[in-house]
Amino acid sequence: MNRVKSQQKALVSLVSVLMALILAYGTIGTSAWDEVNTETATYENDPAEAVTVETAVPEVQGENSETVSAPSVQSESIVDEPATTVADVTGGDASAAEEEVTEPELPEGETGEDTLLDEGTEEEPKDVPADVPEEVAKLLVTSKQYYDEETVANALSIPLESNDARYNFITGSDYKVYTMTDKPEWYPSEGVASKRMSTFDVPYWVMDKSGNRTATSGKITINEVLADSVKCIFSDIFLLEEQFPINYLVGFMYRKVGGAGLVNSPILSAHSFGVAIDINHGDYDNDLYVGKGNDLRDRSNPYCISDEVIEVFKSWGWNWGGEFDICSDTMHFQYFGLEFLQYESDEPFPVLEVGKTAKSNVVLNLRSRLVKLGYLKKATGKKYDKDLAEAVKKFQEDNGLEPDGIVDYETWVPIINFTHDMSYVF
């Protein structure tokens, strides 16, 4: 999983070799080369000879077959003024860059490839498990037998440096909270957005009632520029030792956000951009919990999203919904940053209090939840009366809250989380 560290090691090695070549060239320049042609100008500073690095940006077909180009990347010269030095990469003394770099001697019988694998065994592709059907095995693009260098390279090339960079890659503009009435130009409707999507097969395990796993595959629809990233993610998840089972999987859905306190929110879901994935929804206790960091899942349930699955997504630059600021949406993963999800007001749930609360379905919903939790015997009545207030006080006392009988945000959070499988009316 240490891909970033491996890339840093590779960069250090590359810079080291370049410095060695520069030193060697300098030696030649003061001896034999000068004797051959002392009037030849050096070309390090000749713009005509400058080497540039360009990043190819895919063109995406928009509505009416219009070609829409993703944001361009500036070319950089790497001749006149090196962007990175050995000292920059290693954090060491710049004088160290002047030392001659030599290849390390390998123990007898070892090759350079063997040494690289020994230095980072986590990076060595895993074997395909036995008895996996050929049509599934071919989807394991990060496995030893079916490693796809191009797919992995594409997956590693997506922008991760900032949320602005991520949004520019997907929408053509910097980060902002988009809503159903303020949509990005590239995603004005489901029909137009769907033209930017790609549907493909990913491998995963299914589980029978006895707990036996079977290798299979299924289709997912995702933003086409993230397709290779998703292929690598599900290849890695499939190759986990736990053989994580999946029975619900969805990517692109053009809709607004939902959940407690968000039912009336107009915010456009990350699923609308094809940059979000839900796995093992609700039925297996991976639903949304109110409040940052709240995670009340039954981890003994094999369908519960495991730490290993979360780590796979993170290793490819994706974020886990369990770390949203206002909730813990544990079945959810997305390429975008997590800060877009927010309540419309400081009081996302109605504050209920004796003498100040009108009759409403919210009160009835509260009663139903307290009945389920054992604090009331029946759920009838839309009025917030003294009996209901006493039940609330008992709940507050049992959960370390001030027993004042006022149902504010701090009281709603545990009530909703303990009954999260019930419908939301807020």
Q: What is the pLDDT of residues 357-406, one digit of tens each?
A: 777 888 988 999 999 999 999 878 888 999 999 999 999 999 999 999 99
Contact 211, 245 (CB under 8 A): no
**Which one is predicted more confidently, 342 or 215?**
215
Which structure tokens are listed for 243?
């053989």
**Which one is predicted more confidently, 59 or 230?**
230
pLDDT of residue 343: 67
Which structure tokens are listed for 277?
């994935």
State the pLDDT confidence band at 147, using cuts at 50, 70 and 90.
Answer: very high
Q: Is the pLDDT of residue 37 over 50?
A: no
Domain map of the chain by residue range? 3-45+80-122, 134-334, 361-418
Give one word for 159, left, alpha or beta, with left for phi > 0 and alpha for psi -120 to 50: beta
Can you tell me which residue has the tokens 């933003």? 223
**Which one is predicted more confidently, 159 or 105?**
159
State the pLDDT confidence band at 30, using cuts at 50, 70 and 90.
Answer: very low
- Among 139-143, 212-216, 278-282, 310-314, the minimum mean pLDDT is found in 278-282
Mean of pLDDT over the chain? 76
Q: Which of 225, 223, 229 is nearest to 153 (CA)?
A: 229
Q: Is the pLDDT of residue 18 over 70?
A: no
Q: Is the pLDDT of residue 113 over 80?
A: no
Q: What is the pLDDT of residues 69-79, one digit of tens each?
A: 333 333 333 33
Q: Is the pLDDT of residue 170 over 80?
A: yes
For the chain, the distance separating the N- and C-terminal CA atoms, rounded to the nearest angstrom, is 41
Q: What is the mean pLDDT of residues 281-296?
A: 68
Q: Is the pLDDT of residue 80 over 80?
A: no
In degrees and rounded to multiples of 5, residue 303 shows phi and psi of -85, -5
CB atoms within 10 A of CB 30: 8
pLDDT of residue 274: 98
**Which one is predicted more confidently, 287 or 290?**
290
Is-above-0.75 flag for pTM? no
